Amino acid sequence: MAPPSPGDLRRIPSLTGSAPSIDLHDLPRDPTEMFAAWLDVALDRGVPEPVAATLATVDDDGVPDARTLIIKAVDEHGWAFAGTASSRKGQQLAACPNAALTLWWQPLVRAVRARGAVVEASRDDAAADLAARSEAARTGVDPEDWRLWRLVPSRVEFWQGSPDRRHLRIVYTRDGAGWHLDPG
């Protein structure tokens, strides 16, 4: 089969979801609360698999890599995700403990993006995460190799797309112990 031409790709519609309304005068002061509020809407609207995210890391040479994984928690400790230390992501995070996460909620034309340092959670937390997985998901996993990481964000962007291309970008930037909010 021939590869798709640029014209073929241009004809494929994008940003076709239905954007919920946002009250820019009543935004949470903290991106964790904002994420909780947006996730609530995503669950309410039946967004499929809303905690599947893309995690980007870099290797020893500064070359980026990205893959899909599941976000396990978003709270005051950071944005948690899990995998094996021996994986590419595990090796890359050991060499360069910084990462970025993105989520795309197509039905809402919403995207969330976070970047920051990555810290390894305690082995107890990693063991608890592994224990919470289904038996099938635990099969073949070496518990010694299992890690839980937390991305501690320095910047979080909540992007609301609009069919008329007047997109909104709500950005939280860490500011000392608090957050600076730029509401688009």
- Footprint of ligand FMN (CB under 6 A): 52, 65, 67-70, 82-83, 87-89
d(CA 46, CA 104): 14
CB of 168 to ligand FMN, least distance (A): 27
Q: SS3 for 118?
A: strand
d(CA 110, CA 99): 21
CB of 81 to ligand FMN, least distance (A): 6
CB of 44 to ligand FMN, least distance (A): 21
d(CA 126, CA 89): 16
CB of 82 to ligand FMN, least distance (A): 6
d(CA 179, CA 35): 14
CB-nearer residue toward ligand FMN: 90 or 153: 90
CB-nearer residue toward ligand FMN: 27 or 100: 100
CB-nearer residue toward ligand FMN: 147 or 170: 147
Tokens of 131: 């224990």
